[in-house]
Structure 1
Amino acid sequence: MRLQQLFLFALTKLIFTTTAFAQPAQGYFTSEAKTVYNNDNIIVSIKKYNPTEEEIKKATTPEKNAAMTYLQVPFAVTNASLFANSFESTLYCLDRSGNVKWSKLLGFSKNSTASPVAVDKDFIYAGEGLKEAGKVQLQKIDRNGTVIWSKNFDSLDNVNDILIAGNKVNALVSFEVSKKVIHADKTFSYNSYPIYFFLQLDIATGAVIKKEYQMMGNYLSSLGFINPYISSYQSYYLSKKDSAMYLSTLNQQSATTVSENMPKGISILNLIAGPSENHYLTFSKDNNYILFTDFYGKEKKYTSNLPVKISNTPFNRTALLQTDSDSMISIINAGADISVCYTDTTGKSDCSTKKNILKSLMAGAGLMGNKPYFITVTGRDKPGMPGKIELVYY
């Protein structure tokens, strides 16, 4: 009888512990996330702010004429910045119901944008700055959340993008500079921009293969080209509102404009690319969403007008995803509504819209096979209130 009681107690404790842990992630999250799907795990990279009780009190019951704090900033704001690397970057592994299986601290940053994350087979690769200024860390993590290796690098502020290619981990890392600019009227301002290095590590050990200063990339960065996107073990893209540039690490003297054939008045919303292809989701001055796609090696190039009746506003969110069969999926979010467009390799697009599918704006989007899913953060609709990460399927 005693043995049976002990067994029942242990079983009850196990069930209670598992149930207590199986819940959504909660915190003062930012509105931007990056997500990938891997072997029944949904991996989410997102940042959050950890306020003091006094900060929460001041946000929920603000004093008259008091300075605005981060907890009072509208949740939809992107590219927020805080001193002293005050954003905490966390990697969450979720089940299909959106409950946390495990979480891992990635690091800290002054920027609200989500840390880059990549998957290869059963392993996850991610990186972020550390609490100590001027240091970044890259990590290899297995599907259970165990760190296989971690590598620290000095004199850097940000891990901007990560791509796995063969037996190499490729990353764009950077530090920020600020240069004084004197204007014609004798006033001055400061131009701040990242200085990039292309970092390459051995996938098994994390040993450094190379770390190269990007001369042409940094020149373009000083001109306002941002949004770094690694496309292969030796190439990447930088873009801004109406222009995109292809850069090779083997050629530090020049770059290729790959958006030259796009009409004037086009704004690039999302860019994804591979070793021999690039794709852009854009918005035109005529209020149309247009997908531009170019598969170099396969000699396939098309422009597809997406029949979506959603106006582009500063609070809209968009994403561009690619299936294993090279179909493109364009996602457009406005408020609670989501439009999804499937474009085949001939440029034919089929779009649909679901109304009131989201409780909050889309923070990120990923693919489970050919099925899109969305990351949202609910609850952060009032100053000082925490949020909860939720999964939504289309």
Structure 2
Amino acid sequence: MSKLPNISTSIFTTMSQMANEYQAINLSQGFPNFPVDQKLKDIVIKWTQEEIHQYLPMSGYPSLLEKIAKLTQDSYQRKVNPSTEILITAGATQGIFAAIQALVHTNDEVIILDPSFDSYEPSVLLGKGKPIRLELNEDFTPNWEAIAAAMNSNTKMIITNNPHNPTGKIWTENDFNQLELLLDLYPNVIVLSDEVYEYITFENKHISAHHRPKLWNRTVCVSSFGKSLHITGWRIGYVVAPESLMIEIKKVHQSLIFSINSIAQYAINDYIDVVKVSELGNFYQQKRDFFRSLMQETKFELFPCEGTYFQVASYGHFSNENDLDFVKKLVTDFGVATIPLSPFYDKGKDVKCIRFCFAKDDETLIKSAERLMKL
């Protein structure tokens, strides 16, 4: 009997397979198609020749843990203990899974804000928790009245995703104020803050849970080197949490994977000294602006994009097709693969919106827009 009877092949896998089958331009999965920094590749080549191919400590390469602590201090003015409050993970998804398995118990309720990333609910279900799916407002901002109404003595965790995938929204100061007011009423609730796109924000800068001292003792922050350094295939991220929570997360982590790829950790440890993640937002803002300018010539209605490398667009004003059929038609008839938003919603709510990934080279974006103009 299946533990996850309602979980099927992810929409990301499905659309990438269709893109390959029909030789379509793939704007579906969230990965860059441009080269990785040559400096990083050179560092990797160097370390492959060294004898560093055995297990590293379970928490991570100590020097890299120190570098992450410094990055957190420089980015957010938060001091964390590298030996007790940081854990290197096999991508952000594994960090999220380990945190939920460690901290959510049978019948604990976990609030998930839809549209939401598809790994959240299965992780809660495998931990025998109860996912409480709540919709964001129509403009994809948090609905604090609905969140407040859903919280009770059984609420164990709220999962936040900021900057938000798939919509590109970022939280405001007021959002954090509202969250903190609610947490004052429910002192046992833990925040799982998915911040994998933390360095990819534009006009308004990212506000992190790291910025909020009131949250530090009850928040698990999840970050991604894959997203920040354009190396999604490396599957490496990290978790920052207070020691009391991290002790439990590490118990799951060591049973699940023990330690992370040694070469990747050594390489990132060196590379973090020469890369400026603070400039990542400017890099992607240029791509966002370029893609949005190209899309002005299409029928799509673009939503604001405040962060991430995703652009949500509405098509409901010119087509009544459900979003799953619509994206399949885009692949088969127009040669562009995108992601529908319905799989991000409980029970597959169809809001007639799709998601584009603009983390692509200019030639790819131009060709995509040319094809989409034919709609």
Which TM-score band (shorter chain)? Answer: under 0.3
Higher relative strand content: 1
With a CA cutoff of 8 Å and minimum separation of 6, indicate the structure with the bigger relative contact order.
2
TM-score if structure 2 supplies the norm length? 0.27
TM-score if structure 1 supplies the norm length? 0.26
Higher relative helix content: 2
